[in-house]
């Protein structure tokens, strides 16, 4: 597996990471714990060294799973986790309310360290920007944790350009994690230029469009009610039918290369910048192997120009999140 540095930092990771959320949360059924531990071991054996989790996944159970599974590989893998949510405002089970108060951050880190079985968190992201807490205070709290040796690197997720600049001025930001793929390219306008200017790595989540860009989802696919896609405007049957043109493009390029649409989608991301490290989620070995295969796919300038030209003529239909979730999580 090739390695990449996240920006100008000393944090070297596998060119492709692994998003772990759906191993224990996100939709039903979640993965069997023993099977997921074996799966995480297989990922390490295949050269994956960068694993992504968060306290809110579960909540808490995903960190516990990742901590147990990767305990034998301490010093060989990089684990990223996140803070930023609090209990539901209405008192119901789960976490949705934003909370990045400095004292809360420090409490979350202590709990995450225990669940992850770590002495220090390799990369700690603010999961979503909290409009009630100045980003300088958030960065200052993480800076304190870094000075205490409990955190090694600071990251942000879904933050805008000015927020990144303000945070970086207090505590250097190692990585910015946001959704980015051939059908969600918003980071290109302001965020990627700021990352390049400041030497910040970029970690795309949902690089395969929550499965849509693999070509295995169409207008006839059904989703469990626990699956966010069942409520997302971008995944209504009509939107999926209209957005199929993106997959058609990937299939056409893939056929030329003898690879899958998913591999083209990931290879396209990897070709954008040498400091971009996608983290596709997976729970199956065949999908993991397919994703890893994307690292070896070489897209020529001609290929990239063809993709760019075709995508520029496509209008993707539907918002990526339902309105209630956008408001709730600041997305």
Per-residue confidence (pLDDT) for residue 329, from 0 to 100: 44
Distance separating alpha carbons of residues 284 and 188, to the nearest angstrom: 31
Q: Residue 109 is encoded by which pair of tokens?
A: 């880190």
Q: Residue 251 is encoded by which pair of tokens?
A: 């299939």
CATH (domain of 64): 3.20.20.100
Three-class SS state of 69: helix
Count of domains observed in the chain = 1
CA 281-285-289 angle, to 5 degrees, is 80
The string of pLDDT tens digits covering residues 300-322 is 999 999 999 999 998 998 888 87
Per-residue confidence (pLDDT) for residue 29, from 0 to 100: 76
Q: Judge whether residue 26 has pLDDT over 80.
A: no
Per-residue confidence (pLDDT) for residue 70, from 0 to 100: 98
Per-residue confidence (pLDDT) for residue 325, from 0 to 100: 62
The string of pLDDT tens digits covering residues 254-290 is 999 999 999 999 999 999 999 999 999 999 999 999 9
This prediction's pTM: 0.94
Per-residue confidence (pLDDT) for residue 221, from 0 to 100: 87
> Which pairs with CB-CB distance under 8 Å and at least 24 residues apart come from 30-34?
31/283, 33/65
Asked if residue 245 has a cis previous peptide bond (ω within 30° of 0), the answer is: no
Which has the minimum average pLDDT: 127-141, 146-160, 218-232, 295-309? 218-232
- Residue 293's H or E segment, with its range, is helix 285-293
The string of pLDDT tens digits covering residues 115-130 is 999 999 999 999 999 9
Residue 245: pLDDT band by 50, 70, 90 thresholds?
very high
Distance separating alpha carbons of residues 11 and 202, to the nearest angstrom: 12
Per-residue confidence (pLDDT) for residue 229, from 0 to 100: 85
Per-residue confidence (pLDDT) for residue 324, from 0 to 100: 63
Is-contact 68 80, C-beta < 8 A?
Answer: no
Per-residue confidence (pLDDT) for residue 331, from 0 to 100: 41
Q: Is 57 a catalytic residue?
A: yes
Q: Residue 296 is encoded by which pair of tokens?
A: 């070896």
Q: Judge whether residue 249 has pLDDT over 60.
A: yes
Q: Judge whether residue 85 has pLDDT over 90.
A: yes
CA 316-322-325 angle, to 5 degrees, is 135
Please give the residue range of the domain that contains residue 254.
Answer: 3-329
Give the largest Cα separation in the chain, rounded.
Answer: 55
What mean pLDDT, rounded, does the chain reach? 93
Per-residue confidence (pLDDT) for residue 143, from 0 to 100: 98
Please state the rounded mean pLDDT for residues 121-144: 98
Distance separating alpha carbons of residues 223 and 235, to the nearest angstrom: 9
**Highest mean pLDDT, choosing among 65-79, 204-218, 234-248:** 65-79
The string of pLDDT tens digits covering residues 155-194 is 999 999 999 999 999 999 999 999 999 999 999 999 999 9
Residue of higher predicted confidence among 215 and 255: 255
Q: Judge whether residue 39 has pLDDT over 70.
A: yes
Percent share of the chain, pLDDT over 70: 96
Q: Judge whether residue 328 has pLDDT over 60.
A: no
Per-residue confidence (pLDDT) for residue 223, from 0 to 100: 84
**Highest mean pLDDT, choosing among 39-48, 308-317, 321-330:** 39-48
């Amino acid at each position: 597996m090739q390695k990449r540095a996240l920006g100008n930092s000393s944090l070297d990771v596998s060119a492709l990471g692994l998003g772990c959320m759906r191993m224990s949360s996100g939709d039903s059924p979640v993965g069997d714990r023993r099977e997921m531990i074996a799966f995480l071991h297989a990922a390490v054996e295949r050269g994956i060294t960068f694993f992504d989790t968060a306290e809110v996944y579960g909540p808490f159970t995903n960190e516990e799973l990742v901590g147990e599974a990767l305990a034998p590989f301490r010093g060989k893998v990089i684990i990223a986790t996140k803070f930023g949510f609090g209990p539901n405002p209405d008192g119901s089970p789960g976490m949705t309310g934003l909370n990045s108060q400095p004292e809360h951050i420090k409490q979350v880190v202590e709990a995450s360290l225990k669940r992850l079985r770590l002495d220090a968190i390799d990369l700690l992201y603010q999961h979503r920007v909290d409009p009630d807490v100045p980003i300088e205070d958030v960065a200052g709290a993480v800076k304190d944790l870094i000075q205490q040796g409990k955190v090694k690197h600071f990251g942000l997720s879904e933050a805008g350009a000015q927020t990144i600049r303000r945070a970086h001025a207090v505590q250097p930001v190692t990585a910015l994690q946001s959704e980015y793929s051939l059908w969600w390219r918003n980071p290109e306008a302001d965020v990627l230029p700021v990352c390049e200017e400041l030497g910040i790595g970029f970690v795309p989540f949902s690089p395969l469009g929550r499965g849509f860009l693999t070509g295995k989802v169409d207008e006839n696919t059904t989703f469990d009610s626990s699956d966010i896609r069942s409520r997302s405007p971008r995944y209504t049957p009509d939107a999926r039918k209209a957005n199929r043109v993106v997959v058609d493009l990937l299939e056409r390029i893939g056929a030329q290369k003898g690879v899958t649409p998913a591999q083209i989608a990931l290879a396209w991301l990897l070709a954008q910048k040498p400091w971009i490290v996608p983290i596709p989620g997976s729970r199956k070995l065949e999908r993991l192997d397919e994703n890893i295969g994307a690292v070896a796919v070489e897209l020529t300038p001609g290929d990239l120009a063809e993709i760019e030209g075709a995508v520029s003529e496509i209008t993707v239909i539907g918002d990526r999140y339902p309105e209630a979730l956008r408001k709730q999580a600041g997305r």
